[in-house]
Structure 1
Amino acid sequence: MPTSVLTSRQSRGSRARPFRFLSTAALVAFVALFAACGGGGGSSNSSSSGGNSNGSSGNGNGSGGSAAVPSPTQQPTAATAANTVAVTVNSGLTGTLPNIPTVSVTICVPGTSTCQTVDNVQVDTASFGLRLLASALPNLLNSLPAAAANGGTLAECTAFADGYTWGTVRPADVKIGGETASSIPVQVIGDLGSNTVPQACAGFGDPQNTVQDLGANGILGIGVAPYDSFGSYFACPGNANCSAVTVTQTQLVANPVPRFGTDGNGVILEMAPVSDSGAPSATGTLVFGIGTQPNNAMTASQSFTTDSSGRLSATFNGRTLQAFLDSGSNAIFFANGNLPQCGGNLGTFYCPSSTQSFSAALVSHNGATSGTAVFNVANANALLGSGANYAANNLAGEYGSSASLDLGLSFFYGRYVYYGMDMTASGGKAPYVAY
């Protein structure tokens, strides 16, 4: 049953430092909350306390939230083709985290058949690059060569809203479904001693270098950027005395998708619909390529160009915000002082007395297109308090800056969400998201 509810797994990089989004002004929500077994803290008292449960200032015009609307119902493509991989949401490795989508990834010593498959790797559409725990590679770790920089081992500190990951950078062949990215830099988390963590990295918060801390065996960052140019890189002579270093693009931890050849222009995350009262598990399909195969045609009704890290704009709660669609956040996060928070062990998750509908007006980063994001917000204690549910399509809360709208995994159920890779460096398309 859930005892700890985490969100955002995006790297913060050069984004606003307390949270995680890959740009200087962006924020990504992370929160460590606790869902008590049998509906402990944040129970019926929380659902009726504090503020107007109608959630005023909910839509793009700043008026009140309205009655719940039907949830989306798109069904995912079968994960049988070479450009697909099955996605699972369930109790996971720790039994503590709802709305954590995971896939299996195979990692190999470059150019060899020496490989290991790692299950329970979180799918994060708002970070960039593959990061795997050293503990998840017991049969392969010693065979993976470490990259070098300035006479030492190359390591990366990646800042997340809940802390940081620290470990070496190593080239590897990455295989997901039937796709392969050959010899790309990946981060191996937790393979360096805690005494090697640079002070600048430790300042990001708590280390996220174990299964218990991370809630998964790794993070698959498949957002719109081809490289993680937002992380902090270090040279560690003798795996110690680490100091900051500037690296070339070829040394940056790489998003594997743009290296998939024909199917490297984007991804579609397709999550099956779930009950509005929550579910013990959920399934989906991660499809590689957009318009490259019979199973990945662009059918979205709304499409938005983004900046290089996946951001667009939103008018919501009567304000202009930055918005992002982020499978690495386990709920929809936005500020609304009129929605009651659960309190207790459910912290700042929202607990309205009845399910409310909200609408945000979205605008492309270049201002060329606009659209609408509609979502419901239900009582988090009713969704999670029993400890039986790990999937919820209407889980929401407040975390981080009031200047951001984080459309986390709750928004994805019953939808196809498209991410077009940033191909501007080679004269191609600008990055975009669509649904």
Structure 2
Amino acid sequence: MQRTTRMTRWLKAAAAALAVSLIAACGGGGGSNNSQNSSPSSPAPSGSNQISTVVNKGVSAVPNIPTVSVTVCAPGSASACQTIDNVLLDTKSFGLRIVNSSLSSILGSLPTLPSGSGNLAQCALFADGLTWGTVRTADVHIGGETASSIPIQVIGDLPDATIPSDHCTDTVPATNAEDTASALNANGILGIGVAVNDCGSACSLPISNSNPSTYFSCPPNVTTASCARAPVALNQQVANPIAHFATDNNGVLVQFPAVPDGGSSTVTGLVIFGINTQANNAMPGTVTTFATGAAGDLRNSTFNGAPGVDAFLDTGSNGLFFSASLPSCGSSAPDFYCPTSKQTFSATLQGVAGTTSATVTFAADNANNLFKSGNFALSNLAGTAPGTTLDLGLPFYFGRTVYHGLDLSSNGGQAPFIAF
């Protein structure tokens, strides 16, 4: 049976930190209830910079979870390696995070980064939970691309009793810790959003109330909540692997075929690394390009007549999340909408600093009926969000090719952008 877990996996702490850096789912109702047996698919990968991403039953039978495979190796090793399947593809977080049980054969070969007299750990805060674990160095292989010796987070390799309060459970309850594959609904998270690391320069400053760091220095063999919040240099922060590829390192495009209203049992998309670095990732002049904030936000967008809406595109969210006058699904799926028929909405997305704007449309259908269909790719799954948030999750990507350009401005390169 499908679980109706809400996934709004955008990285809260990172969004705030990067902004600072930039400045200094069973009930009634109508709707679609037709089960689809089709499995739409994008073309198969044909280059070293291409991989498939699949939406299917996955780890926990939660709909709209796009996953990929990654291979993690000890730094410099060609033998101490482990391939991890069912890793969530997330365009609104930054860096690789793997559940410790998925690294069992090589965990001891991945060196922990030092912090003071202890080891570096992180409490990564997401909209629906937190991940807690050490930061380690690894070589990361994705398709034919390699990011050598980058910091990754190993989720759940520290006891739950060590999860700190400061800038961690005082923001997201400890009961929302996602330190297992079943809690995370995946074996890890591959964050390929527009930022090159997950916190930015603000987190490298001395610890104070204005430092948003969720990194911690933990005593060796720690068993209690004795880890202390710590500043962390940019080169020790959990890193977006794309930025560390030898080539094809300026962004990524995510492509999915269209999914019918009633959904599909599975859908297969294509991830292509680099933008305008090869013939297979050329960005046509017909796309609309939006300059974004440092974390990929379009904060001056308009929805339901209200300006100043924070809109963003996020494969890590399994629905479209926004505030609207629609009936909820009740106790079976309280975070989702259950209108009696499909409802269509529009929003005006606005790039930063008054740049490009464009109107997009999307739909919300009866979530309970969608969940009953037995399909795992659902194009009209929608749920609630605060009034100033428009989370264009995975359904927005169906039938589109979306480009995410990395923020390379610190080295005189491109500013962050999205395009479709």
TM-score by structure 2 length? 0.88
Q: Which of these residues, 342, 345, 351, is aligned with residue 332 of structure 2?
A: 345
Distance 1:359 1:101 in 2: 24
Distance 2:121 2:102 in 1: 18
C-alpha distance 120-75 of structure 1, shift in aligned 2 (>3 A): closer
1:212 aligns with 2:182: yes
Matched-pair contact (CA < 8 Å) for 2:121–2:135: yes
Distance 1:362 1:10 in 2: 18
Deviation, structure 1 residue 255:
0.4
Distance 1:89 1:334 in 2: 23
1:9 aligns with 2:20: no
Distance 2:66 2:75 in 1: 27
Q: Match for 2:218: what amino acid?
A: C
Deviation, structure 1 residue 158:
0.3
C-alpha distance 22-99 of structure 1, shift in aligned 2 (>3 A): farther
1:254 aligns with 2:239: yes
Deviation, structure 1 residue 23:
4.7
Q: Match for 1:157: what amino acid?
A: C
Matched-pair contact (CA < 8 Å) for 1:126–1:222: yes
1:100 aligns with 2:65: yes
SS of corresponding position for 1:80: coil
The answer for the alignment partner of 1:236 in structure 2 is 218
Runs of 4+ in 1 over 6 A off after TM superposition: none
Alignment of 1:5-404 (within 5 A): 5-13=5-13, 15=15, 23=19, 35=25, 41-44=26-29, 47=30, 76-95=42-61, 97-113=62-78, 114-200=80-166, 201-203=168-170, 204-205=172-173, 206-229=176-199, 232-240=214-222, 241-299=226-284, 301-312=287-298, 313-320=300-307, 321-337=309-325, 339-386=326-373, 388-399=374-385, 401-404=386-389
Count residues in correspondence: 385
Matched-pair contact (CA < 8 Å) for 2:4–2:333: no
Matched-pair contact (CA < 8 Å) for 1:158–1:231: no
SS of corresponding position for 1:219: strand
Distance 2:235 2:52 in 1: 30
Distance 1:186 1:14 in 2: 15
The superposition leaves residues 6-58 of structure 1 with CA deviations (integer Å, 9 ceiling, x where unpaired) of 21122211557xxxx9657xxxxxxxxxx3xxxxx3223xx59xxxxxxxxxx
The answer for the alignment partner of 1:71 in structure 2 is none
Distance 1:432 1:132 in 2: 27
Matched-pair contact (CA < 8 Å) for 1:423–1:430: yes
The answer for the alignment partner of 1:419 in structure 2 is 404
Unpaired segments ≥5 residues, structure 1: 25-34, 36-40, 49-73
SS of corresponding position for 2:179: coil
Deviation, structure 1 residue 257:
0.5
TM-score by structure 1 length? 0.85
Matched-pair contact (CA < 8 Å) for 2:137–2:150: yes
Q: Match for 2:46: what amino acid?
A: T
The superposition leaves residues 187-232 of structure 1 with CA deviations (integer Å, 9 ceiling, x where unpaired) of 0000011121112222312211011110000000000000011651
Unpaired segments ≥5 residues, structure 2: 32-39, 200-211
C-alpha distance 75-92 of structure 1, shift in aligned 2 (>3 A): closer
The superposition leaves residues 291-321 of structure 1 with CA deviations (integer Å, 9 ceiling, x where unpaired) of 1111111135211000100011311101011
